Amino acid sequence: MSSAIATLNNRGYQMATPSPLLQDWLSSYDGQHPLLDIGCAYGINTYKALELGIPTVSMDLEKKHLDILLQNMDKEYRHLSTCVIGELPYSIPFSDNYFSGILCAEVIHFLDGKSIETSIDLIYRKLVPNGKFVMTMASDKLLEYIDKDMHTKFQDDLENGIKWPGEMPMDAEFTKKFQNIIENDGIRSEIDHIFGNLLHFCSVEQITEVLQHRGFGILHANVGEHPGYEDPEGLGTVPKRILLVVAQKL
Ligand SMILES: C[S@@+](CC[C@H](N)C(=O)[O-])C[C@H]1O[C@@H](n2cnc3c(N)ncnc32)[C@H](O)[C@@H]1O
């Protein structure tokens, strides 16, 4: 298995494997409207779509990722591929009703709550009716693994009506906790260099509620594993507690 590869902008790693929800995304192609891979990094998921002959737009906020994606792409797929710089929640530079399926793999946890809501509205607009939105992100179960007390507070806050209690600034204290816990598990990784300023942990209920409120039907939502969370030096695996969601524009 190949390793996860660090991003060039402190946004974690491109996973060592395609998304566990890859098939949901690929099968959302309707034969007419392209697929979109938001936060594509170096193209681990994009390539799978291209290999099936599916026209695919790869979007990332970091141009250097797109340059590498294009450099490594076989010539035979170039006619199917479009690369664009774009950033949630601000822009997906295509007209409305453009895509039959949108993948957003390991990206949403870099956004604060308000930006998640705005991003979901934007994604909704860009999908054709019945189009699918496929996403994975850090779950509250990962927060529980990092710090049980913080997770208890997360649950209490949710019960008390606080909307996005899982927004964790990657400050020195939280970074140290995260670092300690993975080191206890025998994993060597420099957390403070790879995640930027914020990591947002959400529960299944939170995300499904926001999606439903914005017009999506939920086809699938659970907390599960991502086999691609292998650390870059192959020293172990970071916790596999991610949120996996497939939603459909109603
Ligand atoms: C953790 S990597 C995941 C890469 C790939 N999707 C995967 O599953 O392996 C996150 C990627 O999303 C991009 N990204 C992060 N925040 C973004 C945003 N707000 N809008 C667009 N892309 C973003 C980063 O540049 C990076 O390439």
pLDDT at residue 6 in the model: 83
pTM score, whole prediction: 0.94
Tell me the best of 5, 10, 11 to mutate to test the pocket of ligand 1, counting ligand atoms within 8 Å of each CB and taking the most.
Answer: 11
pLDDT at residue 33 in the model: 98
SS3 state of residue 183: helix
Does residue 39 come out as left (phi exceeding 0), alpha (psi in the -120 to 50 range) or beta?
A: left
Please indicate whether residue 9, judged by its CB atom, sits closer than 6 Å to ligand 1.
Answer: yes
How far is ligand 1, taken at its centre, from the CA of residue 159, in Å? 31
Q: How far is CA 194 from the centre of its chain?
A: 15
Query: Which atom belonging to ligand 1 lies closest to the Cα atom of 89?
Result: 19
Measured in degrees and rounded to the nearest 5, phi and psi for residue 103 equal: -105, 135
Please indicate whether residue 103, judged by its CB atom, sits closer than 6 Å to ligand 1.
Answer: no
Residues 6+ apart with CB under 8 A from 114: 164
Tell me the best of 17, 61, 225 to mutate to test the pocket of ligand 1, counting ligand atoms within 8 Å of each CB and taking the most.
Answer: 61
- Per residue of the chain (250 residues), give pLDDT as tens: 567 788 899 888 898 899 999 999 999 999 999 999 999 999 999 999 999 999 999 999 999 999 999 999 999 999 999 999 999 999 999 999 999 999 999 999 999 999 999 999 999 999 999 999 999 999 999 899 888 999 999 999 999 999 999 999 888 888 888 777 766 665 556 655 667 789 999 999 999 999 999 999 999 999 988 877 765 455 455 555 899 999 999 9
CA gap 100, 29 in Å, rounded: 5
The domains found in the chain, sorted by start residue, are: 5-138+204-249 (3.40.50.150)
How far is ligand 1, taken at its centre, from the CA of residue 39, in Å? 3
Structure tokens at 207: 């995300």
How far is ligand 1, taken at its centre, from the CA of residue 61, in Å? 7
How far is ligand 1, taken at its centre, from the CA of residue 86, in Å? 11
pLDDT at residue 55 in the model: 98
Residue owning the nearest CA to atom 20 of ligand 1: 87
pLDDT at residue 227 in the model: 77
How far is ligand 1, taken at its centre, from the CA of residue 250, in Å? 26
Select from 72, 199, 213 the least CA-distant residue to 140: 199
How far is ligand 1, taken at its centre, from the CA of residue 33, in Å? 22
Please indicate whether residue 20, judged by its CB atom, sits closer than 6 Å to ligand 1.
Answer: no
Please indicate whether residue 62, judged by its CB atom, sits closer than 6 Å to ligand 1.
Answer: yes
Query: Which atom belonging to ligand 1 lies closest to the Cα atom of 15?
Result: 9
Q: What is the greatest pairwise CA distance in the chain?
A: 55
pLDDT at residue 5 in the model: 84
Query: Which atom belonging to ligand 1 lies closest to the Cα atom of 103?
Result: 6
Please indicate whether residue 39, judged by its CB atom, sits closer than 6 Å to ligand 1.
Answer: yes
Classify residue 143 as exposed, middle or buried by CB count within 10 Å of its CB (0-12, 13-18, 19+).
buried
